[in-house]
Amino acid sequence: MKKVLFIGLGHMGSALIKGILKNSNNNVEIFGYDAIKETQQKAIKNMEGLKSLKKLSEIQDKNIDFIVIGTRPIDVEPLCKEIDELDINKKTIICMANAVTIDNIQNCFINNKDVAVIRMMPNMNASIQKSVTALASKNASIEVMKFVTEMFQLCGLVENVSEDKFGTLTAISGCSPSYVISFFKAMTDYAIKSGFEKEQAFRIIEQVIIGSAMNASKSEVPLRTVVDQICVPNGSTIEGQKILDNKNFEQIVQEALLAADKKATN
């Protein structure tokens, strides 16, 4: 059984751990560590099956196989240099910090030049096993990539993406849950203000969004054609669609994605 340590037990790290531990056949031993001990204690208390490290030196003592770094980007380099003081050759570093490249991480390991490095980008839906998790590596073996892929498939969909696409990937997958939830909030807020109970509004609009996305992904015609087909002349749909078009709704969404993409790339 492989041993996996998650360093950083905030929202994203905890979401991934929850997704993995929900599957009783996960075949991994999960450890957690956070520099903020209150955060670590809360995570250990709330997630059955999660073990803890008291200090990073235990990585060597417990023979951890995979180290998943989920800290702030600014903390990655000093953390990696601290880990490099241990004997972790042949181990694997998996980093999900935004805009931190594989080379950035590899360059931190002077004493342990044989560590494999994987860059990853999940999203918050990992906790309900509906994440999209992207992986990229330059030196990880096929066996290592297979294990990591299968582990994160417990949290949802896994995609192999070249590292030069990670900025865009971050925008359309890592950041987009915020934008989708904003859209969901606007719709449910309107329904609730119009007299619907919250639970019913959530249930209806959840199904509409999921169903519409699935329908669109299977379309054999351009998506704008699908929109035009739904917008019957003189009907209700077209009146609302006129507002979206006049306000440049699609352009606004793409501007948001571009801003996120640029931030993730730089």
What are φ and ψ of residue 107, in 5° steps?
-65, -15
7 is in an annotated binding site: yes
Q: Which residues pair with 117 in a beta bridge?
A: 93
Instruction: Output the CA angle 171-241-230, nearest 5 degrees.
Output: 100
Cβ proximity of 59 and 34 under 8 Å: no
**Alpha-carbon gap, residue 101 to 120, rounded angstroms:** 10
156 is in an annotated binding site: no
Cβ proximity of 156 and 133 under 8 Å: yes
244 is in an annotated binding site: no
What is the DSSP code string of 212-253? HHHHHHT-SS-HHHHHHHHS-TTSHHHHHHHHHHHTTHHHHH
11 is in an annotated binding site: yes
157: exposed, middle or buried (C-beta count within 10 Å: 0-12, 13-18, 19+)? middle
What is the DSSP code string of 95-156? E--TT--HHHHHTT-SS-TT-EEEEEE--GGGGGT-EEEEEEESS--HHHHHHHHHHHHTTE
12 is in an annotated binding site: yes
* Biggest CA pair distance of the chain: 71
9 is in an annotated binding site: yes
Distance of CA 176 to the CA centre of its chain: 10
**Alpha-carbon gap, residue 37 to 67, rounded angstroms:** 18
**Alpha-carbon gap, residue 166 to 135, rounded angstroms:** 9
For the annotated binding site, the residues are 7-12
For the annotated binding site for NADP(+), the residues are 7-12
